[in-house]
A and B are shown apart, each in its own frame.
Chain A
Amino acid sequence: MAQNDRINEFMELFTRSEPRISALVFSLLANWADADDVKQEINAVLWKKFDEFESGSNFLAWAYAIARIEVMRYRKSRGRDRLQFTDQFMDVVCKQTFHESDLLEARRRSLADCVEQLSEADRKLIRMRYAEGATVDSVAEQVGRSVDAVYKAVMHIRRALHRCVQLATGAEGW
């Protein structure tokens, strides 16, 4: 296969799988800064090892396995300088993510519709909260409300979105 074809194949597979890989990595680390670091490594390894990937087989399963290895490697490199989940926790989350892969993808696809169902004020607030680099503190400063008030407001919106996505998942079947 020509190099350009191989790049295109990788691009297609990677682009389809990347949101799921990203979410798995975040689920394992529960910290965006760490997740962003390790994702860069994972992306590089995926491409580097892509020659070992057999066309037509399950790219996502292969990518999940690599992501898990890289997260474990990253955790080891960080040592005990921050809180970490147990290895058993990592196993459970990996298995659950893999088992529910289709459902999780359906949930992801439904999220934008659920955001649309929010009131304008809620949508604006949640957009600010999830803007690049934003924190609850920075949003509170922007909107002139207490940190605690923003924390609670975001929490309520996020839980409503969670419920909405549950419904939308059903509407899409999986």
Chain B
Amino acid sequence: MSDKTLISEMSDLLDATCDGRLDAVGQARLDYLVCTDLRAAEFYVHYMHLHDHLRHQAFADDLSADVSVPDLAHAKPLSFFSLHRRPMRYALAASLILMVGALGSVMMSLSVKQTDEYNGIVRQGFASLTGSTDAVFGESDVPTAVGSQLPAGFLRLRSGTVQVEFYSGAQVTLEGPCEFGINSASRGFLKVGRIAAYVPDKAHGFTVGAPKYAVVDLGTRFIMTVREGGDSSVRVTEGKVELQSGTKVQPLTVWQTAQVDASGTIHDVVAETDPALVPVTDSLRSGKLPAGLDVVGDFAELTPRGMAVTGKGPAGGGEKRTYIRTVRTDWYQTNFIAEVTVDVPDTTETNAITFFGMGGAEMTKVTPFQEPIFGPHVLAVMWPGGNIDSRIDSIHAEGKTVAKNLHIRGGTHKLRMVWDADTEKARFELEEGNKGVVTAKFEIDASKSIFNALSSRILFGGGGGLVFRDFSVTPAEVIP
């Protein structure tokens, strides 16, 4: 049964229950659903608790004048109950609410067993940590080793990426720094950071809460960011979601992005054209960086010649590398041809290394070399030799030398990357002198890189002295 159908039927049954209208047939049906479907059991418990709390608690303030506290010191123990009036009970509860946390932590540490309704396996917790790349964790409430089963609690990721698969089937990728909570098999909570969620059919209704609002997935993929201070955005890359803020519901369909402020108010629902159908093209010579690109590093200057890396120093990171990358982070799902032209200084005074490819495009945080190798990546790294006639002498990828003794002088050269999303292979080409003739060509199998929707930007850049221009990414239905 789909989530939508189940929620609809359960809602009707539960409202009938709450208002005393449930007949024998309805009760039998409710019994069956709760006993056979974890989603129904969760819904039932949540809704019945709400109904009971509405009766006892939600309007307690209205009754505050009625509060009376019995003199227990002189009362027989059982007389507590005979004196026990609702308002007093909740006034006391309010005064003691801070103590609940201690009990809560005890409860949270308890083992939670769930039966996977799809394959009958008894599992602990609500989700599994299925993968990680360069992950550095802060103090987390839940285990952080790959393969761990996750009970309720927060994952605190300082850097790197982590994949979590909920037992409902929803898959969430976290990009550090990120603080993400697991609430149940069908619900998470993004306190701060960025996630990409993929929600298959069986997990429809999967919900990610955020401060002041929530995203309910109606089937498919979305990217959600919560910044420090509470501002956030949601971008749907496939299908449809609902933003729920207070009692307001805002549908969001594919290629729409919504900005949500810290109070939960939804602003600026912007529709964009499917980026898979739109080439990214920019000369980089207008003096202004286009909206689809951003810069990592402190040494970029947009000049009439293009984006110049202005750092100076020896190679190995000392040349103060800087990178341009696409804002779009999920290129790995699309066949594309990316090209960029680079001016390599025709002098041995600088020894800039050129990087071009796809990845998270974060500079490494574990080495001082300012390489964009943080997270999964597929990169061509072009090294100079020692002489004026070898400004590009070798090309490295995946830790191997894929081309050497190229003896390419400084000048204007074109770099090309052809990505096949089906086979996850990247073909790189270098046209010396930008004359339409391929000088060097090689292929990299990136199928083991485990790209995700947050880590597959297209990037180029390198050390001081390089100038990049005429960047383009063209989606291709069939890879040439």
Contacts and interface: CB of A to CB of B under 8 A. Distances in A.
Interface in A117-174: 117-118, 126-127, 130-131, 135-136, 151, 154-155, 158-167, 169-171, 173-174
Interface stretch (B209-217, B297-305, B316-324, B400-408): B209-217
Contacts, number: 216
Interface string B35-69: 10000011011111111111111111110000000
A103 B24 contact: no
Contacts of A99: 112, 114
A171 B377 CA distance: 35
Contacts of B81: 40, 43-44, 47
Interface string B63-78: 0000000001100011
B247 interface: yes
B246 A93 contact: no
A61 B90 CA distance: 20
Given A170-B214, A174-B183, A85 B27 contact: yes
Contacts of A136: 19-20
Interface string A13-43: 0011111001100110011100100001001
Contacts of A60: 103, 107
Nearest to A33: B20
B41 A93 contact: yes
A78 interface: no
B121 interface: no
A38 to B, nearest CB: 13
Nearest to B230: A171
A59 interface: yes
Nearest to A117: B246
A23 B53 contact: yes
B204 to A, nearest CB: 15
B97 interface: yes
Contact of A83 (B24, B73, B84, B209): B24
Interface residues of A, number: 76
Contacts of A102: 104, 107-108, 152
Interface residues of B, number: 79
B19 A92 contact: no
Contact of A58 (B11, B78, B106): B106
Contacts of B100: 16, 105
Contacts of B97: 16, 109
A69 interface: no
A19 B53 contact: yes
Contacts of A85: 27, 30-31
A89 interface: yes
Contacts of B47: 162
Contact of A26 (B51, B89, B106, B212): B51
B171 interface: no
A94 to B, nearest CB: 10
6 contacts: A11-B80, A30-B17, A92-B35, A107-B49, A108-B49, A135-B20
Given A4-B73, A107-B53, 17 more contacts: A16-B99, A16-B100, A26-B52, A47-B78, A101-B104, A103-B184, A104-B49, A114-B246, A127-B62, A130-B54, A135-B19, A158-B54, A163-B247, A167-B214, A167-B244, A170-B214, A171-B211
